[in-house]
């Protein structure tokens, strides 16, 4: 069996919904790439189904969703779709502008964290790194459960 811990983390950086402002997602993608992660970067306006398909095909550990307008409102639907496709181990973070009162619903839907504007580079990189490790562990658990 491959030693999962040695393979670089794979992170999908994307935007779903209607907004196209991508300066933030590009910079975060560069941060993660420079930290040694394998980044799969998409243009804005991905559909939920498209993100799930890509996450499956690219075998990602973490999905980072950038939301500057209101696209975070459909992230709970994306979480459902990930679960329905058996991607329970994939961790999701959101970066951008999310009103405080709308954060609870995202965390309740399974989002690991919401980063706001001005979040520091190291804070983002360290968090995603730890999250990716968690995802790897969860995947091993899922594998052992389905293949006893």
Partner 1 sequence: MTHTAVQLPLPGFEQARGEWRSQYSRHMRDEKPIRNRSGIEIQPLYSPRDWSGDRYLEDLGFPGQFPLTRGIYPSMHRGRTWTQRQLIGLGTPEDYNKRVRRIIGAGATAISLLPCCSGFRGIDCDEVDPVLLGTCGTVINTTDHMDRALEEVPIGEISTAMNDPSPFTLLAFTLGVARRRGIDWRSVTGTSNQSDYISHFIANHQFYRLSLPGSRRVLLDHIEFCRRHVPNWNPVSVVGQHMQQAGATPAETMGFTLSTAIQYAEDCIERGMDIDDVLRRFTFFFDISISMFEEVAKFRAGRRIWARIARDRLGAKDPACWRFKFHGQTSGVDLTQQQPLNNIARVSIQAMAGILSGLQSLHTDAYDEAIACPSEETARVAVATQNILREEARLCDVIDPLGGSYYVERLTDQMEAEIEAVIAKIDAAGGMYKAAEAGLVQTMIGDSALAFQEQVDAGDRKIVGVNCYQVEEDPTVPPADRPDADAMNRHVERFRAFKRERSQEQVAKALDALARAANTPNENTFEKVVEAVEAGVTHGEVIGCLRRELGFGHPLIVA
What is the number of alpha carbons within 13 Å of residue 17 lying toward its C-beta? 18
Query: Considering the rule CB under 8 A, would residue 81 count as an interface residue with partner 1?
Result: no
Are the C-beta atoms of residues 34 and 61 closer than 8 Å to each other?
A: no
Nearer to partner 1, 15 or 89 (CB): 15
Query: Considering the rule CB under 8 A, would residue 117 count as an interface residue with partner 1?
Result: yes
List 62, 65, 66, 71, residue binding partner 1 (CB under 8 A): 71
CA distance 110 to 108: 5
Are the C-beta atoms of residues 81 and 40 closer than 8 Å to each other?
A: no
Are the C-beta atoms of residues 39 and 11 closer than 8 Å to each other?
A: yes
Nearer to partner 1, 54 or 69 (CB): 69
Q: Give backbone dihedrals phi and psi of 7, rounded to 5 degrees, phi first.
A: -75, 135
Nearer to partner 1, 119 or 138 (CB): 119
List 56, 70, 85, 134, residue binding partner 1 (CB under 8 A): 70
Distance of closest approach, residue 34 Cβ to partner 1, in angstroms: 10
Binding map of partner 1 across residues 2-41, x = CB under 8 A, - = no contact = ---------------xxxxxxx--xx-xx----------x
CA distance 144 to 138: 10
The one segment of 54-62, 83-91, 98-106, 132-140 that binds partner 1 by CB under 8 A: 98-106
């Amino acid at each position: 069996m491959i030693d999962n811990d040695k393979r670089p983390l794979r992170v999908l950086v994307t935007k779903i919904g209607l907004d196209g402002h991508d300066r933030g997602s590009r910079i975060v993608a560069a941060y993660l790439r420079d930290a040694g992660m394998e980044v799969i970067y998409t243009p804005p306006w991905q559909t939920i189904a498209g993100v799930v398909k890509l996450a499956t095909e690219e075998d990602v550990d973490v999905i980072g969703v950038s939301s500057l307008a209101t696209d975070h409102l459909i992230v709970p639907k994306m979480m459902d779709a990930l679960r329905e496709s058996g991607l329970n181990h994939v961790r999701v973070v959101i970066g951008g502008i999310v009103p405080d009162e709308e954060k609870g619903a995202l965390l309740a839907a399974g989002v690991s964290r919401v980063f706001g504007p001005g979040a520091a580079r190291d804070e983002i990189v360290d968090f995603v790194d730890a999250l990716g490790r968690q995802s790897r562990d969860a995947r091993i658990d899922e594998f052992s459960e389905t293949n006893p």
